[in-house]
């Protein structure tokens, strides 16, 4: 197979994973989790979100998380920001990379951001410019790229238009999110090819899959064969989207690394260390770790080796 020699994994568990938990996770656990994931060899660990705490109370401690975090040299710690106020909070807390999040569909933009796609773009423009002026890179997330629970299948042309708009604002990378996990390998490849026809280099694209229909790893493989080499994943398969109830858990980092190791694709990630971090966090929260590989490693001898 024609695959990249190395894949960069953007770990989203501490943000995307924990934002969907019913209870509030203590800040000490969050910091321990982030530091363990960085120690496992993950080069990018999404630490938190500076969204209004009224909407995502699970991440209301964003400033404290960054202040307590012992950052490992060479590791990126991106944070989500929804607007200029969120950016100000993130910069004051010492964020070294931010991310903005838009929707490929009008319906989800209204439900997730309480504004239209055009209104969201008008807000994101100044956010990216101010971040760049401060020497901080901005990453773009685009949700619902392969299906929307309110609109159904999303036209590829709309996804390309909205994704290109984020890149044109100044985002260095665009993460294509299959938020409800409805995508299939063929549709993934078609979408990536459509971005190529629009003049977007594969190096500027990342993928973010949910495993709702069991297609997460197959979709990753299709993306890799299409030239993408950056994949978002969540330790233990934690997470979902609080504003789209059909968006179940993220693709598990351990499952992804297990597949890539088997394909002899380099990630630099210690799969056992990630599994220890995710199973330890889940044990502290009183829940079973969702990811298959983490469970398998845990069940083999009663603990992760």
Please give the positions annotated as active site: 241
Tokens representing 99 are 């991310």
Query: From the centroid of its chain, how far is CA 284?
Result: 23
Please tell me the distance from the alpha carbon of residue 289 to that of residue 305, in angstroms, as a whole number. Answer: 16
Tokens representing 265 are 């694709």
CB atoms within 10 A of CB 301: 8
Please tell me the distance from the alpha carbon of residue 155 to that of residue 42, in angstroms, as a whole number. Answer: 34
* Residue labelled with tokens 């910091």: 31
3-class secondary structure per residue, 246-265:
CCCCECEHHHHHHHHHHCCC
Please tell me the distance from the alpha carbon of residue 46 to that of residue 64, in angstroms, as a whole number. Answer: 15
Cβ atoms 277, 42 nearer than 8 A:
no
* Residue labelled with tokens 């423009």: 125
Please tell me the distance from the alpha carbon of residue 20 to that of residue 240, in angstroms, as a whole number. Answer: 6
Cβ atoms 239, 18 nearer than 8 A:
yes
Query: What pairs with residue 48 in β-bridges?
Result: 79
Tokens representing 26 are 């203590």
């Amino acid at each position: 197979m024609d695959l990249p020699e190395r894949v960069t994994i953007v770990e989203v568990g501490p943000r995307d994973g924990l934002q969907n938990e019913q209870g509030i996770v203590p800040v000490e656990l969050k910091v321990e989790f982030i530091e363990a994931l960085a120690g496992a060899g993950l080069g990018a660990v999404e630490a938190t979100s500076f969204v209004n705490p009224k909407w995502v109370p699970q991440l209301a401690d964003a400033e404290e998380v960054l202040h307590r975090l012992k950052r490992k040299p060479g590791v990126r710690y991106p944070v989500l920001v929804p607007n200029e106020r969120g950016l100000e909070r993130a910069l004051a807390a010492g964020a070294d990379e931010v991310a903005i999040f838009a929707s490929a569909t009008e319906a989800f933009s209204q439900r997730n951001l309480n504004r239209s796609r055009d209104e969201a773009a008008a807000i994101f423009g100044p956010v990216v410019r101010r971040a760049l002026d401060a020497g901080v890179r901005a990453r773009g997330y685009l949700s619902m790229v392969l299906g929307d629970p309110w609109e159904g299948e999303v036209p590829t042309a709309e996804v390309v238009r909205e994704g290109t708009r984020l890149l044109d604002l100044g985002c260095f990378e665009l993460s294509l999110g299959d938020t409800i996990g409805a995508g299939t390998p063929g549709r993934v490849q078609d979408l990536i090819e459509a971005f190529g026809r629009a003049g977007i280099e594969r190096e500027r694209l990342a993928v973010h899959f949910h495993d709702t229909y069991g297609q997460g790893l197959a979709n990753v493989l299709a993306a890799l064969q299409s030239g993408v080499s950056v994949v978002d994943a969540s330790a233990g398969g934690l997470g979902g989207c609080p504003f789209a109830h059909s968006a179940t858990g993220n693709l598990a980092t351990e499952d992804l690394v297990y597949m890539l190791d088997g394909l002899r694709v380099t990630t630099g990630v210690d799969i056992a260390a990630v599994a220890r971090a995710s199973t330890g966090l889940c044990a502290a929260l009183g829940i079973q770790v969702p990811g298959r590989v983490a469970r398998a490693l845990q069940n083999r001898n009663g603990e992760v080796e």
